[in-house]
């Protein structure tokens, strides 16, 4: 009888574990990893998941078996047996979970410490977060500035964060990690991309009205691609309007044919004349105001406070004039 019970409980355990294993494997719960750090985190997930599946299946099997096997008959009004516990069982269900939880803790601590290591020669990128855009500076490459995060495949990168206004948070789902950018505090994160491709950086800390639009393109490239990108960026940095359009990150939010950009967060900039007319302003004044004081006039259908209000300071007067000429087609 006792042996029969154990066999039945084990049988139920196997069935429950199989159902859970199917649920765990059949769905794509996480994005496909693109960093060494996420590979390690994924290992921790599976390590903990396998343990959880086993324990949950066993507990469910014991409960279901007991409910079914030891239920009272309809006319049975008698008391249950006076049982005072089972010391062996209690020691067992204390020690086994303790060992498992400690194991998960140790594995997690090892992964956390490995993920924090940048190695001896990381690429450095300074990340600036502000309402509502990301910008990146490359101190190893003459402090080159960009609104696209370009990383090298298989090269560890140390990202150092700075926030200019409120708390933002860096998250590229395929990299598997999140890191807050907090005003007044220096935070950092190590990323070692493992495959080339295009990803999206998402702000994952509710930071204001434009939070949902606070995204940036991330590209992982090989060494040749990186060198070519650096060269192209450095040659593009001048005082021209097209260069200011790139360095200002305007294309991330605006579609503008001459720049080949396709951003969808702000209005398209190919028909500014009509908008200036609607606002009742001369074209050049209208465009200049839209850049230095975006909230002064809102394009119908768009919200206040999404376009950064800092361009009046971050761009030089020459750059702003060049931008206005570029956007109005009078360059
Ligand atoms: Cu944000």
Gap from CA of 231 to ligand 1 centroid (Å) = 30
Gap from CA of 211 to ligand 1 centroid (Å) = 5
Gap from CA of 319 to ligand 1 centroid (Å) = 26
Gap from CA of 13 to ligand 1 centroid (Å) = 46
C-alpha 112/C-alpha 189 separation (Å) is: 11
Gap from CA of 299 to ligand 1 centroid (Å) = 22
Q: Any residues with CB less than 8 A from the CB of 27 and at least 6 apart, and which?
A: none
C-alpha 158/C-alpha 139 separation (Å) is: 11
Q: For the domain with range 123-232, which CATH number is right: 2.60.40.420, 3.40.720.10, 1.10.150.120, 2.60.40.290?
A: 2.60.40.420
Gap from CA of 84 to ligand 1 centroid (Å) = 58
Short-list 199, 33, 188, CA closest to 117 = 188
Gap from CA of 180 to ligand 1 centroid (Å) = 10
Question: What's the pTM?
Answer: 0.69
Gap from CA of 317 to ligand 1 centroid (Å) = 27
Gap from CA of 324 to ligand 1 centroid (Å) = 28
Domain borders along the chain are: 2-69+86-115, 123-232, 241-328
> DSSP letter string over 286-320?
HHHHHHH-TTSS--TT--TT-S-S-HHHHS-HHHH
For every one of its 331 residues, what pLDDT tens digit does the chain have, with 9 covering 90 and above? Answer: 478 888 999 999 999 999 999 999 999 888 999 999 999 999 999 999 999 999 999 999 999 999 998 888 888 888 878 888 889 989 999 999 999 999 999 999 999 999 999 988 899 999 999 988 999 999 988 888 888 999 999 999 999 999 999 999 999 999 999 999 999 999 999 999 999 999 999 999 999 888 998 999 999 999 999 999 888 877 755 557 887 887 788 888 899 988 888 888 899 999 899 889 988 889 999 999 999 999 888 888 888 888 888 888 888 888 888 899 999 887 6
Taking the domain 241-328, which CATH number applies? 1.10.760.10
Gap from CA of 163 to ligand 1 centroid (Å) = 9
Short-list 151, 158, 310, CA closest to 220 = 151
Gap from CA of 301 to ligand 1 centroid (Å) = 22
In three-state secondary structure terms, 75 is coil
In three-state secondary structure terms, 255 is strand
């Amino acid at each position: 009888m006792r042996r029969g019970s154990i066999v039945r409980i084990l049988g139920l355990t196997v069935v429950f574990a199989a159902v859970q294993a199917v649920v765990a494997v059949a769905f794509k719960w996480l994005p496909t990893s693109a960093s060494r750090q996420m590979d390690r985190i994924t290992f921790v997930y599976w390590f903990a998941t396998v343990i959880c599946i086993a324990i949950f299946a066993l507990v469910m099997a014991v409960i279901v078996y007991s409910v079914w096997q030891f239920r009272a008959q309809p006319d049975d009004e008698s008391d249950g047996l006076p049982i005072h516990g089972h010391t062996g069982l209690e020691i067992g269900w204390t020690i086994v979970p303790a060992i498992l939880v400690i194991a998960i803790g140790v594995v997690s601590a090892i992964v956390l410490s490995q993920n924090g290591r940048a190695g001896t020669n990381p690429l450095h990128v300074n990340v600036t977060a502000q309402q509502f855009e990301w910008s990146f500076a490359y101190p190893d490459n003459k402090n080159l500035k960009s609104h696209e995060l370009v990383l090298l495949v298989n090269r560890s990168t140390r990202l150092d964060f700075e926030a200019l206004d409120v708390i933002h948070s860096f998250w590229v789902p395929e990299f598997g990690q999140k890191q807050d950018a907090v005003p007044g505090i220096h935070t950092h994160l190590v990323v070692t991309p493992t495959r080339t491709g295009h990803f999206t950086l998402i702000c994952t800390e509710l930071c204001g009205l434009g939070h949902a639009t606070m995204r940036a393109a991330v590209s992982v490239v090989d060494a040749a691609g990186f060198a070519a990108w650096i060269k192209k960026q450095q040659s593009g940095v001048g005082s021209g309007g097209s260069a200011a359009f790139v360095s200002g990150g305007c294309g991330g939010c605006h579609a503008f044919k001459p720049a080949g950009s396709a951003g969808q967060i702000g209005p398209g900039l190919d028909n500014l004349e009509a908008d200036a007319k609607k606002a009742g302003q001369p074209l050049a004044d209208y465009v200049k105001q839209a850049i230095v004081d975006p909230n002064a006039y809102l394009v119908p259908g768009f919200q206040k406070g999404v376009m950064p209000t800092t361009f009046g300071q971050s761009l030089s007067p020459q750059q702003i004039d060049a931008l206005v000429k570029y956007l109005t087609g009078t360059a």
